[in-house]
């Protein structure tokens, strides 16, 4: 009986760490993956990390591109507010959706091990087997919400009819099957996490179709002064992913002045050597500049800034004035 009372007392004194997340199926899957990792690492029940679903402005705006409505922060500002108010201890985000600068008091504590960073081409059943963007029929209708994907598609195939397609993964797949579009692009990481990888007609190699900065990585944010949350998260974050995404985000920070410029970046870590490839383009794909730099893992952020500055220096004055 004394042991039972002691166990119950420990449970009562144990601090819950609510996890804040968007409500899309992918966001919830990522938050649940984080809760499971924390429970395993800390040897605590998963219910100690309950999910708190927070509706964001980005989820509510479906009729226009986010770049026209305020950019990446539309997916995070309500979640940030809940965290700063103390309603949640930990928040989980797709790294590619995080703004360059977090609100004062919040920090990125790290990233879970990175999933497949590639994009996937998905085509409607009416098109039959398609294994590459080059295989799409002349004038095919391709939907995407990403400025980067739109620009790279137009760069590769100026004949394609590229237009806005918003919504979560399942919504986009449904619109494709309804025949509203002939094809779309989605992240392989999201398809894998949702058990939907069989929808991918062809994964697109990073050399041919450069991913978004942070694509495939789950970012974990905590309050800077929350030592308990920081200590909890420290046991589940992946050092290699942190180094790679640090280089990519430093590259983005140099270039991303308006969220209206298509930017891609991807880092690989080979031993202690990091190789960073970056690209910046006009939205219509008519002009792009790409570069690559190699450095040491300890200088990941400096490498990212250097590549960003190199590409920016070679761009015409009006490139960022879209």
Which of the residues are catalytic? 97
Q: Torsion-angle region of residue 45: left (phi > 0), alpha (psi -120 to 50) or beta?
A: beta
Strands 183-187 and 141-143, sheet pairing:
parallel
Closest by Cα among 311, 75, 33 to 303 = 311
Pairing of strands 218-223, 183-187: unpaired
Listed in order, strand segments (DSSP E) in 3-116 are 19-21, 51-53, 90-94, 106-111
Cα angle 29-30-34, degrees, rounded to a multiple of 5: 115
| Cross-strand partners of 121 | 185, 202
The H-or-E segment that residue 219 falls in is strand 218-223
Tokens for 52, please give them: 């708190």
């Amino acid at each position: 009986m004394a042991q039972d009372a002691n166990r119950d007392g420990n449970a009562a004194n144990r601090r819950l760490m609510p996890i804040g997340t968007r409500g899309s199926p992918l966001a919830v899957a990522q938050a649940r993956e984080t809760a499971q990792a924390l429970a395993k690492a800390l040897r605590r029940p998963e219910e100690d990390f309950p999910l708190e679903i927070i509706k964001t402005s980005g989820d509510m705006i479906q009729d226009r591109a986010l770049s026209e409505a305020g950019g990446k922060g539309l997916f995070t500002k309500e979640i940030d507010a809940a965290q700063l108010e103390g309603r949640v201890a930990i928040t989980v985000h797709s790294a590619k959706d995080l703004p360059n600068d977090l609100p004062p008091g919040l920090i990125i504590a790290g990233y879970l091990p990175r999933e497949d960073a590639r994009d996937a081409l998905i085509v409607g059943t009416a098109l039959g087997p398609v294994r590459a963007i080059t295989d799409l029929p002349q004038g095919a209708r391709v939907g995407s919400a990403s400025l980067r994907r739109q620009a790279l598609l137009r760069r590769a195939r100026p004949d394609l009819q590229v237009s806005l397609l918003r919504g979560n993964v399942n919504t986009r797949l449904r619109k494709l099957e309804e025949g509203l579009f002939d094809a779309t692009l989605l992240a392989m990481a999201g398809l894998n996490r949702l058990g939907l990888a069989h929808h991918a007609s062809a994964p697109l190699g990073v050399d041919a179709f450069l991913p978004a900065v942070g694509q495939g990585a789950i970012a974990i944010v905590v309050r800077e002064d929350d030592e308990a949350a920081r200590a909890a998260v420290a046991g589940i974050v992946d050092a290699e992913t942190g180094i790679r995404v640090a280089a990519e985000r430093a590259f983005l920070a140099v270039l991303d002045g308006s969220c209206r410029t298509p930017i891609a970046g991807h880092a690989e870590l080979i031993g202690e050597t990091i190789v960073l490839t970056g690209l910046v383009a006009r939205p219509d794909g008519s002009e792009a500049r790409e570069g690559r730099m190699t450095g040491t893992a300890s200088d990941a952020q400096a490498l990212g800034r250097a590549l960003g500055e190199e590409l920016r220096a070679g761009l015409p004055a009006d490139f960022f004035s879209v």
